[in-house]
């Protein structure tokens, strides 16, 4: 979809989206339309339950007095609540209201909102961003979809004052959307298309944006003693890879330590010998969600030329049962030298991360490391599908992540760590075991990861198992892969780590 920006004027064709605040207060363009149509919007509101609240909408078809094919009135709620996220939600809802109308173009009118902290051009840029995010579709494999089932609108105009400023502000946001879309694409692809080698190839495409890419194969990882990662991969015919992505957007700070992001990339997870139940196993194509977020984030940072030095590392494996697969009871040695007794081969993501995080710290010396993983079902039991679980060794990074999550609508909730939980993963025959028992599963998984974090590194672990995939539509996040984490971490970098 193409997004254009223009000055305010009523369209000659196609749908027009206008807005109202709580109490049914029409904004300027809606008032103009109401007058031109002899009060059609007022009559429609009086005949409905529309009060201008957030989440409400009202459509007037082919109103006399204007050339628009329909006028869609969308509620914004209270003026003081119209912030970046609310404006993005408005844009996403507007897109969904016009996408399937049969028209090829549509217009969203953005007016000044007295009481909002946002300038009109900021609302416009965010509305455009929200519309773009909401327009995502993964229809690559639909060969018989009827035209009526597809969006008809291919061009969307955001009309407002200061359209030039809005267009300028939208530019970097569109680059973030590119990263979001890449992550959604990767997470949506089936495991016969995306496996370690092909996912590494996808990451290599970022070199076009100036990202430095390096890929380690199984022989190179063996030389580095990555026994934990390789142990997970040994049952699969698809060979593992470890991909490093470097974005040096702050060359003057080249000698300073970077920020690092590490992602779990299990491209399909059967559970290995500790095999999962058949029901729902098809969902395990997105057990590489953490790696998808890191790849998409690096694309977003490079695309918008973020002034930061960042490293992204993803460990890519496939967890399969076979005659060569890792067995429960096996002991593996990690790159750090610590040994792990593998009690359950379905607790494999932490093994992959252990070696990937250690390599990242040894090679790149980050000041802060944030890992992302669809790590545990236990976090879904704890937090449902609304929040990612956050664990950390530093209060400051928690506060920053929490604030960034609220700003972009990707909330995180801090979970506890402690010595009592850590003792649950002590092994009788090795330095540790890879599970800690039935209770507190997401916590003991995080305790495991913490054993691979160096003392001088600020660390946060985001368990995104409950938020990587959505079974319902939202204004800016269509059903399917969410790319939860790309906007969160991009905002974190923008707010706190750019020079």
Indicate which residues carry an active-site annotation: 276, 350
**Helix and strand tally (H, E) in the chain?**
15, 20
Whether the Cβ atoms of residue 176 and residue 23 lie closer than 8 Å to each other: no
CA proximity to 183, closest of 296, 312, 67: 296
444-450 CB contacts, 8 Å cutoff, 24+ apart: 445/347, 445/350, 445/375, 445/376, 445/378, 446/389, 446/391, 446/415, 446/417, 447/417, 447/421, 447/422, 448/350, 448/354, 449/350, 449/353, 449/354, 449/357, 449/371, 449/391, 450/391, 450/393, 450/417, 450/422
Report the C-alpha gap between 22 and 8 in whole angstroms. 23
Q: Which two tokens stand for residue 340?
A: 């792990």
The residue assigned the tokens 């990937």 is 356
* Beta bridge partner(s), residue 20: 26, 75
How many Å apart are CA 54 and CA 134, to the nearest integer? 17
- CB-based burial label for 22 (10 Å; 0-12, 13-18, 19+): middle
Q: How far apart are CA 178 and CA 172, in angstroms?
A: 10
């Amino acid at each position: 979809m193409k997004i254009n920006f223009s000055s305010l004027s009523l369209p000659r064709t196609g749908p027009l989206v206008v807005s109202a605040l709580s109490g049914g207060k029409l904004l300027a363009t809606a008032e103009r339309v109401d007058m031109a149509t002899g009060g059609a919007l007022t009559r429609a509101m009086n005949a409905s339950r529309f009060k201008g609240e957030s989440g409400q909408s009202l459509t007037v078809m082919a109103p006399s007095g204007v050339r628009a094919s329909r006028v869609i009135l969308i509620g914004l709620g209270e003026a003081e609540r119209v912030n970046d996220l609310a404006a993005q939600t408005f844009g996403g809802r507007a897109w969904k209201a016009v996408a399937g109308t049969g028209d090829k173009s549509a217009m969203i009118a953005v007016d000044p909102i007295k009481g909002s902290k946002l300038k009109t051009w900021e609302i416009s840029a965010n509305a455009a961003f929200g519309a773009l995010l909401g327009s995502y579709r993964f229809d690559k494999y639909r060969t018989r979809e009827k035209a009526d089932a597809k969006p008809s609108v291919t061009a969307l105009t955001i009309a407002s004052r200061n359209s030039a400023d809005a267009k300028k502000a939208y530019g970097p946001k569109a680059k973030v959307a590119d990263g979001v879309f890449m992550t959604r694409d990767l997470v949506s692809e089936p495991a016969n298309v995306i496996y370690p080698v092909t996912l590494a190839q996808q990451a290599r495409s970022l070199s076009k944006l100036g990202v430095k890419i390096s890929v380690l194969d199984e022989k190179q990882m063996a030389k580095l003693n990555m026994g934990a990662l390789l142990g997970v991969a040994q049952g699969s015919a698809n060979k593992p890879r470890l991909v490093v992505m470097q974005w040096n957007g702050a060359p003057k700070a080249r000698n300073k330590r970077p920020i690092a992001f590490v992602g779990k990339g299990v491209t399909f997870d059967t559970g290995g010998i500790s095999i999962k139940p058949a029901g729902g196993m098809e969902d395990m194509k997105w057990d590489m969600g953490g790696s998808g977020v890191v790849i998409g984030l690096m694309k977003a940072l490079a695309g918008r030329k973020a002034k930061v030095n960042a490293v992204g590392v993803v460990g890519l494996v496939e967890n399969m049962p076979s005659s060569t697969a890792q067995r429960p009871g096996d002991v593996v040695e990690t790159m750090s030298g610590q040994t792990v007794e593998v009690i359950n081969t379905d607790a494999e993501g932490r093994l992959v991360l252990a070696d990937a995080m250690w390599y990242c710290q040894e090679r790149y010396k980050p000041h802060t490391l944030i890992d992302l993983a669809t790590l545990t079902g236990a976090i879904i039991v704890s937090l449902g599908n609304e929040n990612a679980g956050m664990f950390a060794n530093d209060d400051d990074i928690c506060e920053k992540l929490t604030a960034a999550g609220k700003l972009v609508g990707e909330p995180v909730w801090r979970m506890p760590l402690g010595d009592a939980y850590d003792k649950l993963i002590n092994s009788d025959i090795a330095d540790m075991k890879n599970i800690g028992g039935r209770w507190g599963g997401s916590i003991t998984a995080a305790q495991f990861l913490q054993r691979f974090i160096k003392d001088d590194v600020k660390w946060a672990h985001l368990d995104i198992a409950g938020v990587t995939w959505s079974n319902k539509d939202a204004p800016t996040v269509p059903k399917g892969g969410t790319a939860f984490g790309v906007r969160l971490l991009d905002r974190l970098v923008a707010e706190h780590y750019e020079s």
